[in-house]
Structure 1
Amino acid sequence: MTSDNIAPDEQVLPVPRVLADEPVDLAISRSDRVFTGKIWDVRSETFDYNGENVLREFVDHPGAVAVLALDDDDRVLLIKQYRHPVRSREWEIPAGLLDVTGEDFLVGAQRELAEEADLEASEWSVLLDYATTPGGNNELIRIYLARGLRATETTFERTDEEADMELRWVGLDEVVDAVLAGRIQNPSLVIASLAAHASRQSAWTSLQPGDAPWPEWTRLHPAAS
């Protein structure tokens, strides 16, 4: 044995670090809005990276919330809605933009569930947060798990693509099977159903409180927080 009681042929492994993304705030020398759209904008930014000026253009997005509503029979509320960019009527979960100034994330999710499905819930948890397309936009989505469901006292009038939405209750296992078979591809539905399936297997111990902070969104939207 060596003086520190480690055999010469014994490998010393490093202490594992927690697997996590690393927030980086670089010096931005120029930031311009090059397109102003009805829902979101396109921004061009120049920043210093490893001593070089780098130019990138991306969709500047306010962020969004989505809701996986789960009833007492482990059925998920799905909404079929037309999405023009992909020319499809997709199965989705209720979701909406964080475009109301100063609105709390959870309040926004509760509003979307009511507006799109005429439902409210007594139990709210954060299922997970994710970035939709980090190479092309700064959109962040928080997905909530809503349980203890009941109908709202009033119903909402829906227009445009929401006017002919189809609602369906589908077992969580059936949704996961459809995801893995590639029959449904909406990202929030895919991610939420797989996360809920995994969390259920661990007795929902991965869930966070409904009012949990969202530091990554706050970091990217300091003026709105």
Structure 2
Amino acid sequence: MWSVRTDTVNFDGQLIERDILLHLGAVAVIALDDQDRVLLIRQYRHPVAMALFEPPAGLLDIPGEQPQVTAARELAEESGFQAETWRVLVDFLNSPGGSSEGIRVYLARGLTPLVSGRPATGEAEEAFLPRVWVPLAAAKDLVLSGAIGSPSAVCGILAAWAARDAGWASLRPADAPWPVRATLLEQGRVHLA
């Protein structure tokens, strides 16, 4: 999932060492149903010892798999849904002061349950994650109140709120270029599985 590398950087003639957490990168999915509700999953995150509300998400850990394909797989695995329409909501760097983790958040609409009606996963942890549907306006309020703090949820929900207010006109196609990820890959700043 990640590795640590120490670089020596020349800052105006002074050599300084910096540790970098090289990360695979990830995708997240703001799944919006026809009632304008967002699917959130409550997942325990041990580093912060809390269960957080997050959108379906996952690592870019399959070599050669396109990010939108990863997003569709994660949506199916974690929610039991598939989507007809995919758009890019937002790209962001999760913690650029120490990590190379880039995250792309997709908007998924036209949701239908998988034939099984159950999450398509073999992972016991994912199969029993609590799922809730939250109206987009309420989700936005939960972000602004601090009740939702996971970066992919914060960025994705606020981007969805803004995009909806703009009539969805600002959204990029699902296969839109991801320049920051391309640069990180070129520079060897992505941990490759």
TM superposition score normalised by structure 2: 0.91
Query: Helix, strand or coil: the match of 1:221?
Result: helix
Distance 2:127 2:68 in 1: 25
| Amino acid in the other structure paired with 2:99 | N
Out of 121, 126, 134, the residue aligned to residue 162 of structure 1 is 126
| Amino acid in the other structure paired with 2:174 | G
**1:85 correspondence with 2:40:** no
Which aligned runs of 4 or more in structure 1 are off by greater than 4 angstroms? none
Q: How many residue pairs align between the two structures?
A: 186
Match in the other structure for 2:157:
193
CA contact (8 A) 1:81 1:161 kept: no
Out of 16, 22, 31, the residue aligned to residue 60 of structure 1 is 22
CA RMSD of aligned residues (A): 1.5
Matches within 5 A, 1:61-76: 61-76=23-38
Q: How far is the alpha carbon of 1:163 from its aligned partner?
A: 4.5
Out of 151, 171, 177, the residue aligned to residue 135 of structure 2 is 171
**1:130 correspondence with 2:58:** no
Matches within 5 A, 1:203-222: 203-222=167-186
Matches within 5 A, 1:83-162: 83-154=45-116, 155=118, 156-159=120-123, 161-162=125-126
Distance 1:163 1:151 in 2: 15
| Range moving further from structure 2, 72-81 or 42-51 | 42-51
TM superposition score normalised by structure 1: 0.78
Q: For structure 1, list consecutive stretches of 5 or more residues without a partner in the other structure.
A: 1-38
What do residues 13-41 of structure 1 show as CA deviations (whole Å, max 9, x unaligned)? xxxxxxxxxxxxxxxxxxxxxxxxxx311
What do residues 43-86 of structure 1 show as CA deviations (whole Å, max 9, x unaligned)? 11112233332210021101000000001111000101111111
More helix as a share of residues:
2
